[in-house]
Amino acid sequence: MSDTIIITYPFTGEVLQEFTTYSKEKLEDCLNHSQRVFTDWKFQPISYRTQLLERLSVLLEENKTDYANLITQEMGKPYKESIAEIEKCIWVIDFYKVNAANFLADELIQTEAQESFISKDPLGTILGIMPWNYPFWQVFRFAVPTLTAGNTILLKHANNVTGCALAIQNIFEEAGYPKGCFQTIIATHQQIEQIIESKIVRAVSLTGSEKAGRKVAEIAGRNLKKVILELGGNNPCIIQKDADLETHIRTIVRARMQNTGQSCIAAKRFIVEEEIYDEFLQKFKEEIKRLKFGAPLDPKTEISTMAREDLAIELQRQVDASIDMGAKIFLGNRRDKAFFEPTILIDVQPGMPVFDEEVFGPVAAVTKAKGQDHAFELAKTSNFGLGIMVFTQDIEAIRKRIGEVEDGAFFINEMVKSDPRLPFGGTKNSGFGRELSKEGILAFVNEKTVYVK
């Protein structure tokens, strides 16, 4: 029996569209189609695949406003951020268009053999399970290198951005990719488990919650499938006593409030040295209050409603529980359905939900540190390991601390962000494996040793 998926505009609750999950037979057809296409696609020369990337880039640029509108309507992202998301997708396409051939070239190794080298062969059909918060970017950063390496893709997107998922499939097909190379599937959690278990699916890439990651990793491990997990984070943002707040305060605010705070790599915990604590709080509050709230489709809007009301309710639970444990409200803490007012909590300590858990929404948790050593001790007090950011003028002193932090990213005087040129991923409960850069395109290839004597 099929399930119905109802898509609503988060700002008004207006119903936009309804979709029905695929039948068992249709999902089997998708799997088989993907396998059939792979047998030819894997032998296409890299020059052909990069030509398709050129067309893909042009289509996104030509239809940028339409795709941005779709993102904003389905998950409530402010329109100008949706435009920026499409532009970032173009960036990742252009990066692999230039670099894919070099990344995938045979790697010659000098041995006693007449010839020995590493051949980089595609694995087959790869399942991508993607979240709603960056509905185009998360897919393109996975799909572009994976397809360009010669694999085929099945996409299971978050239910509330099903329209985006189907639009993305259409983009790849319009760009000239063979039908079946990229397929969106609309499926239940139970069906996804069965798809992972299929012999046709060779690996899985998931971006999502820690809970989802554990479940997918369990199924994949049981079936000996490779899996890449990009999960949650509660990134620390250390404000050193010498930080240049005049220069960086807007970046610091954006690090927390981008996408209405719904980002795994957003700054979640602000750890501020006591000498600059009061000054930071005032500037932080003033800058947050300048953010323009409004309808997501208004090009001037900088912050709006969250993607769904249940997400706002969960955020309220984390805030209320932390207040019960001693945190204090410095700004905000008003909720109305899916809207959650930008909020600053102070006197936050380890053990509180807003310190220990991933906080997915416009809430900043601020903790006072007694010095640099204490600040880093607090920063490392986490089960997550996605990224850390430090604001300071003494860059050389902070360089010496890079090795003591386990996270997948260490940013100085900048917010943690993904960049096609750099590998991206986390450690600990933030997952494992890397996307983007050379690592991203090699994630789903068989690095085959070839030895000729």
> 301, exposed or middle or buried, with CB in 10 Å at 0-12, 13-18, 19+?
buried
Number of C-alpha atoms within 13 angstroms, CB side, residue 38? Answer: 24
Question: Are 161 and 168 in contact, with CB atoms under 8 Å apart?
Answer: no
Q: Single out the residue of 308, 272, 356 nearest to residue 159, CA to CA.
A: 308
Instruction: Report the amino acid identity of residue 39.
Output: T
Q: Give the contacts of 363 (CB within 8 A, at least 6 positions apart).
A: 261, 315, 318, 319, 332, 340, 342, 343, 344, 345, 354
| DSSP code for 134 | S
Question: Are 123 and 444 in contact, with CB atoms under 8 Å apart?
Answer: yes
Instruction: Report the amino acid identity of residue 308.
Output: R
Identify the H or E element spanning 227: strand 226-230
Among the listed residues 74, 230, 357, 435, the single catalytic one is: 230
Distance CA 329, CA 351 (A): 17
Distance CA 359, CA 245 (A): 24
Distance CA 237, CA 90 (A): 29
Distance CA 107, CA 173 (A): 32
**Order of strands across the sheet that contains 115-122:** 107-108, 115-122, 445-452
Q: What is the DSSP string of 24-82?
A: HHHHHHHHHHHHHHHHHHTTS-HHHHHHHHHHHHHHHHHTHHHHHHHHHHHH---HHHH
> Has 230 been annotated as catalytic?
yes
Distance CA 236, CA 359 (A): 12
Catalytic center residues: 230
